[in-house]
Chain A
Amino acid sequence: MQSNDKKMKQHKIGLFVPCYIDMFYPRVGIATLELLEKLGQEVGYPPEQTCCGQPLANSGSEQEALATYRNFVRNFRDFDYIVTPSGSCAYHVRRHYDILEQTEDVKKIRETTYELCEFLTDILQVDDLKIRFPHRVGIHNSCHGLRGLKLASASERMEPRYSKLRRLLEKAEGIEIVELDRNDECCGFGGTFSIFEPDVSVKMGKDRLDDHERNGVEIITAADMSCLMHLEGIIRRQKKNIQVRHIAEILNGHSL
């Protein structure tokens, strides 16, 4: 992939690699970093970063997450933008860091934290990714990105249809984006929901996979690796012939 012909404005970006991506899917963090660098951005990775605190807060322990929130703020206060390959982490910082004292740092961080795709479409206005990905791809619209960050129009709302993920993926040569029966149903991950309601969670995941399989998807992609980790767990358990790729990996020009 090459960057755009017209020179893109350079920003000082703080890369936030969510905890589970750091621990289990470093390739997604690497793809995000490489992609942003290829697009001419100055990317810093504050080495003391850990987690955004979402897993605790969604489980009801917001108070226990405060120290983690503060660690995030300490690490990311010196950037123009904070970019992360996770819709739900970006949403968490924007929406739920409201319980911190709203200092200038906190306010700025909440305003400048972006999920990767929306950063590419809204801030960098990337229009010309030179990549090839000749596969049948199904988009999984992760809920917090979809309904929280509005990365795409949600099917419940009667508004013009759009999708930032789709807009980016369509730039890949040879790609075939597959229509699904249920365009934006939850996969059932839901953070610790997956542990405390394992049966419903797994059933939701199976149903999501069935939809992709039924429509001939080869690769499921999403802006959140957590949903894909859950779906991949079911794929491997059931030995299904379908794969998952974070959207950063596709946009960074990884072939299979």
Chain B
Amino acid sequence: MMSHACKAKQFLANESRVDWHNRTLWLVRQKRDRVAAAVPEWEHLREQAASIKKEALANLDVYLEQLETEATRNGVTVLWAKDAGEFNRIILHIIQKHGVKNIVKSKSMLTEECGLNPFLHDRGIEVVDTDLGERIIQFRKETPSHIVLPAIHLKKEEIGETFHEKLNTEKGASDPTYLTQAARRHLREKFLAADMALTGVNFAVAETGTVVVCTNEGNADMGVHAAPVQVHCMGIEKIVPKQDDLGIFTRLLARNATGQAVTTYTSHYRKPKPGGAMYIVIVDNGRSNYLGHPKYSDSLKCIRCGGCMNTCPVYRRSGGHSYGYVIPGPIGSILAPQKEAQKYRDLPFASSLCGSCSNVCPVKIAIHEQLYFWRQDLTQQKRTSFLKRFSMKVAGFLLSENTRYNLTGILVRWALRYLPHGLLYLPFNAWGRGRELPVPPRQSFKQWYEGRKKTKN
């Protein structure tokens, strides 16, 4: 797999596009700042949300069983999937059992993670993504570049072209309202024809057996209301213990995600409609490996608001696809190595460790600290490049003792002064690609200090 740095370089090749991407996401961050500032107890809400999630994760077994009991009492069928394969087979089984022909799906990062669409596609079953952004990238056979704004990497002109091709909109038309209307008409037909609706889950309330789905387009509701079979897919970490807890999270989620006070629709699904069937599929897929983990368990608190992406100065300039994992950005960079450390070993290094993500995060995950811990672990597991590990070993040797350190300094300053420019700026000097090296001073601080001591004496 191509490294994050390589893919970032490709994205950066078109600088004006990067500037646009950066500006667009920064606007979202600014909106978030404004609405968050309007809530006087914002920081307190974050504290509460973090501690509720922490407690829920500490007693997850109890809450999950409570959820199952309550949901079952409500007439819901609760199914458990150990991993992605089992999840996909469960969905296939439900499809076959009900003789489903047409499936609509609202946004669910879990189904992306499990590769549900391609799995069903291979078996001749098509799923229509009904979130506008997801539908766009589905048309274009791309993957989401953001968890809340999946098509944020695309400009409206590109979307116009895609719609012209797929929905027969006017050629060259890129007016967002016009395009949205076209998508609506198209999706309406899909909703009416659907006999099964799949959704993700934002929160599952253990106390009531309810699942809660937050959308801006109402597409989860359209699907669920029209189709006789509704299936809600959730990771085990989506639990909140009580109905009363929910308000804390809904206040944080939309504000932090898009700068709205609340999502347009916050739908609570409790029991099947008359004559219909309702399923909740609870998926582990590796999450429980990190439950109670001394360093990484907090990552399970994530409510997928996407705030850490919007604020991340690297994400905004490298684009979501540079991460190569379904969840990009800071949170993706700590979740991906949990899944496959070898494959995603460069992601924890794709950060300047500025810490903005941790400050933005509504459930106070110390993302930048986990990135730091992953760097240590990946290095110790010898997954990072030999060259990097070797050069750090050498640097460790040189920096740990005064004489060696001083000699290094003298050598470096000598090289900077006397080596020809062409040699100093050979291509392997990554620093020199866009930057000049420092101008070497005549003497180091240490040498100056020695001199001063002598004259003083």
Q: A19-B405, A190-B351, A229-B438 are in contact. Are A61 and B314 (CB under 8 A)?
A: no
A236:B436 contact, CB within 8 angstroms = yes
Instruction: Tell yes or no: A27 within 8 A of B by CB.
Output: yes
Instruction: Tell yes or no: B379 within 8 A of A by CB.
Output: yes
A207 and B325 alpha carbons, distance in the complex (Å): 27
Residues of chain B in range 305-330 having any CB-CB distance to chain A below 8 Å: 311, 313-314, 317-318
B438:A195 contact, CB within 8 angstroms = no
A17:B399 contact, CB within 8 angstroms = no
Which of B372, B435, B436 has the most CB atoms of chain A within a 10 A radius of its CB? Answer: B435
How would residues 20 to 48 of chain A score, 1 for a CB under 8 Å from any chain B CB and 0 otherwise? 01111111011001000000000001011
A26 and B356 alpha carbons, distance in the complex (Å): 31
A157 and B352 alpha carbons, distance in the complex (Å): 19
A47:B351 contact, CB within 8 angstroms = no
> What are the residues of chain A within 8 A of B42 when measuring CB–CB?
158
Contact pick for B353, options A143, A198, A207, CB 8 Å = A143
Q: A24-B441, A60-B376, A195-B431 are in contact. Are A200 and B317 (CB under 8 A)?
A: yes
Among A124-132, A165-173, A181-189, A215-223, the stretch in contact with B: A181-189
A147:B354 contact, CB within 8 angstroms = yes
> What are the residues of chain B within 8 A of A203 when measuring CB–CB?
12, 15, 18, 317
A148:B375 contact, CB within 8 angstroms = no
A186 and B351 alpha carbons, distance in the complex (Å): 10
> What are the residues of chain B within 8 A of A144 when measuring CB–CB?
353, 355
Contact pick for A232, options B350, B380, B397, B438, CB 8 Å = B438
Interface of B is mostly: helix
- Size band of the interface chain A makes with B: 35 or more
> What are the residues of chain A within 8 A of B359 when measuring CB–CB?
147, 154, 156-157
> What are the residues of chain A within 8 A of B438 when measuring CB–CB?
24-25, 229, 232-233
Instruction: Tell yes or no: A205 within 8 A of B by CB.
Output: yes
> What are the residues of chain B within 8 A of A200 when measuring CB–CB?
5, 8, 12, 314, 317-318, 350
Q: How many residues of B contact A (CB 8 A)?
A: 71
Query: B37 — nearest CB in chain A belongs to which residue?
Result: A158
How would residues 47 to 63 of chain A score, 1 for a CB under 8 Å from any chain B CB and 0 otherwise? 11111010111111111
A115 and B434 alpha carbons, distance in the complex (Å): 29
Q: A147-B356, A233-B436 are in contact. Are A59 and B400 (CB under 8 A)?
A: no
> What are the residues of chain B within 8 A of A179 when measuring CB–CB?
none
Instruction: Tell yes or no: B401 within 8 A of A by CB.
Output: yes
Instruction: Tell yes or no: B77 within 8 A of A by CB.
Output: no
CB distance from A154 to the nearest CB of B (A): 5
> What are the residues of chain A within 8 A of B389 when measuring CB–CB?
61
B409:A186 contact, CB within 8 angstroms = no
Contact pick for B445, options A21, A232, A236, CB 8 Å = A21
Query: B356 — nearest CB in chain A belongs to which residue?
Result: A156
Instruction: Tell yes or no: B94 within 8 A of A by CB.
Output: no
A155:B33 contact, CB within 8 angstroms = yes
Instruction: Tell yes or no: A111 within 8 A of B by CB.
Output: no
> What are the residues of chain B within 8 A of A24 when measuring CB–CB?
413, 438, 440-441
Q: A198-B430, A237-B436 are in contact. Are A60 and B384 (CB under 8 A)?
A: yes
Contact pick for A56, options B8, B399, B441, CB 8 Å = B399
Instruction: Tell yes or no: B26 within 8 A of A by CB.
Output: yes
B405:A204 contact, CB within 8 angstroms = no
Instruction: Tell yes or no: A193 within 8 A of B by CB.
Output: yes
A59 and B380 alpha carbons, distance in the complex (Å): 12
CB distance from B342 to the nearest CB of A (A): 15
A59:B33 contact, CB within 8 angstroms = no
CB distance from B443 to the nearest CB of A (A): 7
The A/B interface has a contact count, at CB < 8 Å, of: 215
A197:B405 contact, CB within 8 angstroms = no
A237 and B429 alpha carbons, distance in the complex (Å): 14
A61:B317 contact, CB within 8 angstroms = no
Interface of A is mostly: helix
Residues of chain B in range 34-50 having any CB-CB distance to chain A below 8 Å: 36-37, 39, 42-43
Contact pick for B400, options A29, A71, A155, A230, CB 8 Å = A71
B441:A26 contact, CB within 8 angstroms = yes
A80 and B39 alpha carbons, distance in the complex (Å): 42
Instruction: Tell yes or no: B121 within 8 A of A by CB.
Output: no
Contact pick for A53, options B4, B9, B37, B399, CB 8 Å = B399
> What are the residues of chain A within 8 A of B436 when measuring CB–CB?
232-233, 236-237
Contact pick for A22, options B9, B378, B409, B440, CB 8 Å = B409
Instruction: Tell yes or no: B20 within 8 A of A by CB.
Output: no
Residues of chain B in range 427-452 having any CB-CB distance to chain A below 8 Å: 430-431, 433-438, 440-441, 443-450
B413:A186 contact, CB within 8 angstroms = no
A196:B356 contact, CB within 8 angstroms = no
Instruction: Tell yes or no: B388 within 8 A of A by CB.
Output: yes
Q: A157-B359, A197-B349 are in contact. Are A202 and B392 (CB under 8 A)?
A: no
Contact pick for B8, options A51, A156, A197, CB 8 Å = A197
B396:A56 contact, CB within 8 angstroms = yes
A16 and B378 alpha carbons, distance in the complex (Å): 31
Query: A46 — nearest CB in chain B belongs to which residue?
Result: B402
CB distance from A168 to the nearest CB of B (A): 22
A55-B399, A63-B379, A195-B430 known; 18 new pairs, CB 8 Å cut-off, are: A22-B444, A26-B443, A33-B449, A50-B402, A51-B399, A59-B379, A60-B376, A61-B389, A67-B400, A143-B352, A147-B354, A147-B358, A148-B355, A184-B356, A194-B430, A197-B4, A205-B434, A234-B434
> Can you give 24 contacting A-B residue pairs, CB < 8 Å?
A17-B445, A19-B399, A22-B409, A25-B438, A29-B448, A55-B395, A59-B375, A143-B353, A143-B354, A147-B358, A147-B359, A154-B359, A158-B37, A188-B313, A189-B352, A193-B351, A196-B5, A196-B430, A197-B349, A200-B314, A200-B318, A202-B434, A203-B317, A237-B435
Closest 6 CB pairs between A and B?
A: A190-B352, A233-B435, A64-B396, A202-B434, A60-B375, A60-B379
Give residues in A with beta carbon < 8 Å to B: 17, 19, 21-27, 29-30, 33, 45, 47-51, 53, 55-65, 67-68, 70-71, 96, 143-144, 147-148, 154-159, 182, 184-186, 188-191, 193-207, 229-230, 232-234, 236-237
